Structure 1
Amino acid sequence: MNIYWFLFIAFLILAVQGWIYRRWSLSQLQYSRKFSTPTCYRGDEILILETISNRKLLPLPWLLLQSQFHTALQFQHQSNLDISKGQFYQNHKSIFSLMPYTQIVRKHRIICSKRGSYRLNTVSLTCGDAFGISKTYKTLPLDGQLLVFPKPIPMDEVPLPSRSWQGEVIVRRWILDDPFTVAGAREYRYGDTLNGINWKATARNGMLQVHNRERTADHRVVIMVNFDLNESVQTQISDPDTIEKALSYAITIADWVISQGMEIGFACNGYSEDAPKEPVFVEPRGGHEALNELNYVMAKLVIAQSLGFEQFMANIIRNQIVDTDIVLISAYISNEIQLHIEHLQATGNIVTIVELQPDALKSEVAN
């Protein structure tokens, strides 16, 4: 008879503690996760800070955390962390116990191996009693974002067609006429436009005179990146590493342009995650704020075309871009693209082509 009472009491204890854990194990359990910084450059090492707090009297014999991250966020070796990787995502599992009114803070070191926008979405919490009789779980939403900027490279590694390009741009900065500032009049020279004639000075001197305009310190450079790797229009990019290299070229050139006190703009026929299927055009601006804006824009770019580059350039021409240094980064130049380049040059623009070499770039990015 005693054995039956013993079994009954044991069963009752197990049932009660199971009910208690089902009811209260996840109550007063707080969890947070965040990046140590909201932005970084490709290749940087940052931290993910994780905090778990058990703010109640009931101990937790075991707590299982499950979450998912992009494979571009490479976690360094750490105990009590099981990682299973797929092609694009990796699943994480951690299990530990929490005593009453205790808090655990974990720091995960990660290397950001690719440019992009990464979010902390959800985490699954599962816990139960020590005997495994009952368990309960819930999914918590997270609010965290990391923007990984393209990594700048040394300026002399950008394959500009002429090593004197930088000097030429600096010179052109100081030889543009300022249409709003007139410094007297001068004698007409061949090539002067008729709308620049100063009729009062002409009548006074008896010789054809034109407005003598001061030089402007404002000069604009617009970097265009062609997301098409060949003339066939494809929505999917066959070699994303080539586009990533192009963006590294672009941000390197932009950094140099800003350092020279000039205005920088950016355009490409990809699209941003904030505006799907819309080509990107950032108006030229000066100062480090402009460079920060380009970093944010490039971090959110999706490696896919919004439209063919020939149509994209036709749209640029319709917007009447003039008197601008255009740096075109492209893996090819078709006959139609060449016609668009000539049209841009005819309207006072200077077009410099930076050629991409996909086969060579694959090994460069891997290293």
Structure 2
Amino acid sequence: MLAVFFGRALLYNLLTLRWYERVTRRYMVSCTARGEHTFGPARLRTGDIFGFVEREVEVPGVHRLVVYPRVLPVRGPGIPSRQVLGPLRARRRIIEDPLLVAGVREYLPGDSPRRVHWKVSARTGTLHTKLLEPSTDTDLLLFLNVSTVDPPWLGVIEDRLELAVITAASLAQQQLAAGRPVGLFANSSLRGGDQPVRILPGRSPEQRARMLDALACVIPFETVSFPAFLQREARNLPWGATIVAISGVMSEALAATLLRLRRAGRSVALVLVGDDHERPALPGVPVWLVRGERQWRECETLELV
């Protein structure tokens, strides 16, 4: 029997056991709700058939199950190739990637010691410096707004929030798969915390799991208004980074913040989530719409229009 008390589900089992008998129960868990779920502790209660003697013991231990948001293939026909979701073509040497070694040359005074190729230097007996490949890969910073109505105290549109989380997870997966450094910021805390989500850009194998963990556990209550959070965090971000705001609500304050960042020379874009949004006029700021907030459980792809 399954009962729910104050948001916690309790599973009851009534068993009749004979001497030295053992029973094993296995349950199939359907992971349909994003979030962090805990199992335990368990309570065992036993007694005689007449109810004269009864004993109870608690089995300590709590097991944690994190259900990730859905990650969908991203499709966006007509996205400009020079913007955040397209490849960049290098006309000059902008950034040198330390992971891409094009060759070596003899060491020259002024070369950084970090560029010394020690294996080649040891083999040849003279110092050699690495020649690095140029790269135009810039950091992609996803900013998720957990508010779905304006003002936020009016409530939460749960389906819209879930679609916004799916959008963030899918874009992160797409860009990480392309080898691009991706970071995640959200104006909400994780369960048990009081600080906004901040995951600095990276493309290591652990980055995907780190971001999905955060998106799985993010709660629908903001710790700071999204425009203020976006403006504040942008001051500390790399200048060449691309900022993508993912929001289920459009406000004058958000529009003003995006335009302010664009006028300051920042590369910014907006992904607006929800079925009732029209494309806002934001000169110089690419805007994509994501529909289907009521069908997010059945969607097979994430369409950016």
Q: TM-score scaled to structure 2, two decimals?
A: 0.72
Larger-Rg structure: 1
Quote the residue 1:231 is aligned against.
150
Structure 2 residues without counterparts, runs of 5 or longer: 99-131, 277-290, 299-305
The correspondence for 1:93, drawn from 12, 15, 20, is 12
Equivalent residue in structure 2 for 1:114, among 25, 29, 33: 33
Secondary structure of the 1:246 match is helix
Residues 109 and 214 of structure 1, relative CA distance in 2, 3 Å threshold: closer
Q: CA deviation at 1:320?
A: 4.3
* Partner of residue 339 from structure 1, selected from 243, 256, 262: 256
Where in structure 2 are the equivalents of 1:183-262 lying within 5 Å?
215-234=134-153, 237-262=155-180
Contact 1:173 1:219 in 2 (8 A): no
Following superposition, the deviation at residue 237 of structure 1 comes to: 4.4
Map residues 38-117 of structure 1 onto 2, 5 A cutoff.
82-85=1-4, 88-117=7-36
Cα RMSD between the aligned structures?
2.8
User: What's the counterpart of residue 127 of structure 1?
Assistant: 46
Partner residue in 2 for 1:141:
60
Q: How far apart, in 2, do the equivalents of 1:249 and 1:165 lie?
A: 19
Report which of the two has the higher share of strand: 1
Contact persistence 2:148–2:249 (CA under 8 A): yes
For residue 243 of structure 1, give the secondary structure of its aligned residue in structure 2.
helix
| Alpha-carbon spacing, 1:239–1:180, altered in 2? closer, same or farther (3 Å) | closer
CA deviations 1:87-135 (Å, max 9, x no partner) are 8333321111233334322110110111100112322211111222221
Is the contact between residue 188 and residue 219 of structure 2 (CA under 8 Å) also seen in structure 1?
yes
Identity between Structure 1 and Structure 2 (%)? 19
Matched, 1:319 2:250: no
In 2, Cα distance between equivalents of 1:111 and 1:84: 17
How many Å apart are 1:342 and its aligned residue?
2.4
Q: Residues 246 and 272 of structure 2 are in contact (CA less than 8 Å); yes or no, is this contact kept in structure 1?
A: yes
1:295-314 per-residue CA deviation (whole Å, 9 max, x = no partner) reads 11112212211111121112
How many aligned positions are there? 249
Q: Report the counterpart of residue 104 of structure 2 in structure 1.
A: none
Given the alignment of the two structures, is residue 296 of structure 1 paired with residue 227 of structure 2, yes or no?
Answer: no
Deviation (angstroms), 1:180? 9.4
Q: 1:241 to 1:331 in 2, by over 3 A?
A: same
User: What is the aligned partner in structure 2 of residue 21 from structure 1?
Assistant: none
1:266–1:133 Cα change, 3 Å: same
Q: Please tell me the residue identity of whatever aligns with 1:172.
A: L
More deviation, 124-133/259-268: 124-133
Q: Which has the higher helix share?
A: 1
With structure 1 as the length reference, what TM-score do the two structures score?
0.61
Rounded to whole Å, the distance in 1 between the matches of 2:140 and 2:2 is 45
Does residue 171 in structure 1 map to residue 87 in structure 2?
yes
Unpaired segments ≥5 residues, structure 1: 1-81, 182-212
**Is the contact between residue 151 and residue 248 of structure 1 (CA under 8 Å) also seen in structure 2?**
yes
Letter in 2 for 1:121: G
Within a 5 Å distance, the mapping from 1:28-39 to structure 2 comes to: none
- The aligned amino acid for 1:275 is G
Residue 363 in structure 1 maps to residue 289 in structure 2: no
